[in-house]
A and B are shown apart, each in its own frame.
Chain A
Amino acid sequence: MKNKISALRKSKKMTQEELANIVGVTRQTIISIESGRYVASLELAYRISKVFGLIIEDIFDFKEQ
């Protein structure tokens, strides 16, 4: 599943480690989600979208699956 986490994170000048600490996961999970190897759960997707002040659909592209 494609997502805009990497772009949004860079626009906020946030590191993967910082985002991982905020949403309560490891840095490896953020790397995997950004590269599309791992699909975040609904709860994690919600927490990530909350960090950027957006809705889940604005970050994750569900059509791509």
Chain B
Amino acid sequence: MSEEYLDKRYIIVKRKMIATICLLIFPIILMILMEVITAVLEHELGSLVFGLRYFLFVFLESIVVYKLVRYTKMVKNRNYLRKIEIHRLDERNQSINLRASSLTLKTLFYVIVFSIIIFGFIDIVVFYTLLFSLFVVGSIYIIIKYIYTKKI
């Protein structure tokens, strides 16, 4: 791995650090805002939803903090940057990720479609939510596939 390439990656990692800091702050602002809005409207969905949303919030923020620590280490330590880059560009890892993502997407598609059919008999709200989810996932897949078809 050339030093020039590592210099380029160093700049990219620095940019990613800034983006990650924004990603760290944005959910906090959103959570405070939503808490204020729900308090004003006196709209509460119960303790289970309250617990779950804070669990997800902490989970999300933990991932972002982990990434931020990693990026900071990459910026400070060139050997660590090299190690991470080798791991990231490793073709076996890329192949594993590609296969795992592909299988996950196919499984997700079948699970959503099956759930839509089942909830078509049970609950109209869940039915339309799942249908919308399928539409969003399908649209993203088609758009990304189109972009890569043109690109490669």
Contact = CB atoms under 8 A, between A and B. Distances in A.
B86 A28 contact: no
A59 B89 CA distance: 23
Which of under 10, 10 to 19, 20 to 34, or 35 or more describes the interface residues of B? under 10
A26 B95 contact: no
A11 to B, nearest CB: 24
B4 interface: no
A65 interface: no
Contacts of B91: 25, 29, 40-41, 44
Contacts of B44: none
A24 interface: yes
B95 A25 contact: no
Contacts of B92: 25-26, 28-29, 32, 38
Interface residues of A, number: 12
Interface string B82-106: 0000110111110100000000000
Interface of B: 1, 86-87, 89-93, 95
Interface of A: 20-21, 24-26, 28-29, 32, 38, 40-41, 44
Given A26-B87, A28-B92, A29-B92, 5 more contacts: A24-B89, A25-B92, A28-B90, A29-B91, A44-B91
